[in-house]
Chains A and B, each alone.
Chain A
């Protein structure tokens, strides 16, 4: 399981991008997206997923049920 960014809700504020310990967050269109293959939900790095903890818009960083259903 990885995190995913709801493109329609993302404001592109850049808060999450430099925080990702895996470099999984990239600019995409007007906002950002998470490379599911790289996301570890910050396990082993931090006790809170960084993108989720910093995102100012509720329900924007969400868990993806399966790594294949992007």
Chain B
């Protein structure tokens, strides 16, 4: 541990009066996209699950198709990096401790070193030269990207000039956002995340002890009222400029869990593109107010229930890994340690977009193949009426394929599969539990708990013993789809299970 911080997000808060924010919802995004009120369904492309951009205007698809945070599908193929140039913050959140940092922790707000804008540019060029999947550079703190925006904007400007093929992105608590939308737009930032945890100051006062605004510290409900008004005003201004907005909300049981559906409606009405409801992290060891006061985070089932409730016609992000403010790589992996400041001189970065361009072209073709394979498997399914969906997990290292060994997986990606297709519903981490191999009962128990509710895990490879042990616990570990496409395999597996069940019913009927 050294200096640094733990937080969950970019910031966040709610609004003025008991119900809704006193800001007239304006209509009409600059690019004609009306935000989250698109029709849902299995063909949804932006985030929730599927592939085909049938429900997205082409100019919006163009912005999200290679952004791993804005498109669930893109997160199989593309990497992001955060540069930690913004250590200062202008609010205090009860889930954040600005003194904490640990290289082994993977949470928002945590960094191992702070960068100047010049160092940040070198790091971006070094990563870009070695990670062809890189498509996005974001500034997510470790404080608030807009608390002292000069460093943030200097960094973004330098990257825009020297590496113009990379997308720019930033995260903020929104307090300062309305003052800076013009400049954000002028710099070509086309994705902004605002952390909004409430629109009701009565809820907010239990999340935010204070904010610093217009040269004053504000506390109590007043603080949350100002914060919420500013957040929603910022969101509306982003929409006017055609900048895609993602809303992060930290789910805090007993504090805002019953209120987030209202937040969802408020941000939807103001044109947010995507809502990311994520679980509170509240380990007492992190020294946050919530951690020290015994406030618990939600269970995976509670989180999913709330996400399902909010989904309706709004895009929900379910693939967030709550990454660090200096994360590098695909979501779920972190290569930050390869690119620390002391290593930058020897990495001798040069700008060459060719490898990334070639990679993007290849992904384009690969995606078309994956879509076609999924379509074939769906058509091969016999028609059914209202069969219950199956929860199936996959082990993947990216690329949209089942290409990870059961025992090496740091996480499993969980899909809900039925006759309409496979929908991503979340990931389950194993690295928290499964450190010492699979030999002992405790590790097995932990794995079974991690996979609670899951019928099967599709993997590239699995040992004989763990497969048997998982089978005993009622979870099939299957390597029949090794190195095949994720979604097509899930549908094929579902079809196989259904055929087996039908066969059993037939035999039972005959007997």
Contact = CB atoms under 8 A, between A and B. Distances in A.
A53 B217 contact: yes
A12 B113 CA distance: 11
A57 B215 contact: no
Given A11-B98, A13-B87, 5 more contacts: A15-B90, A18-B150, A46-B216, A53-B212, A53-B215
B3 A54 contact: no
Interface in A38-66: 46-48, 50, 53-54, 56-57
Interface string B61-97: 0000000000000000000000000011110100000
A46 to B, nearest CB: 5
Contacts of A46: 215-216
Given A13-B87, A15-B148, A18-B148, A57 B98 contact: yes
A14 B88 contact: yes
A19 B212 CA distance: 11
Nearest to A19: B215
B3 A48 contact: no
A54 B217 contact: yes
Interface string B421-456: 000000000000000000000000000000000000
Contacts of A13: 5, 87-89, 98, 143
A15 B215 contact: no
10 nearest A-B pairs in the assembled complex, by CB-CB distance: A15-B88, A53-B217, A11-B3, A56-B98, A13-B87, A14-B88, A54-B212, A46-B215, A13-B88, A14-B87
A41 B373 CA distance: 68
Contacts of A12: 3, 87, 114
Contacts of B11: none
Contacts, number: 51
Contacts of B297: none
Most buried by B among A18, A53, A54: A54
Query: Which secondary structure characterizes the binding site on chain A?
Result: loop
Interface in B127-156: 143, 147-148, 150-151
Contacts of A54: 88, 90, 212, 217
19 contacts: A11-B4, A11-B87, A11-B99, A12-B87, A13-B5, A13-B89, A13-B143, A15-B90, A15-B143, A15-B212, A18-B148, A18-B150, A30-B3, A50-B215, A53-B212, A53-B215, A54-B90, A56-B98, A57-B98
Contact of B148 (A14, A30, A47, A50): A14
Contacts of A14: 87-88, 148, 151
B281 to A, nearest CB: 18
A69 to B, nearest CB: 26
A15 B92 contact: no
A21 to B, nearest CB: 9
B216 A15 contact: no
B216 A47 contact: yes
Contact of B92 (A48, A50, A56): A56
Interface in B1-60: 3-5
Contacts of B89: 13, 15, 56
A61 to B, nearest CB: 12
B150 to A, nearest CB: 8
A54 B217 CA distance: 7
B217 A48 contact: yes
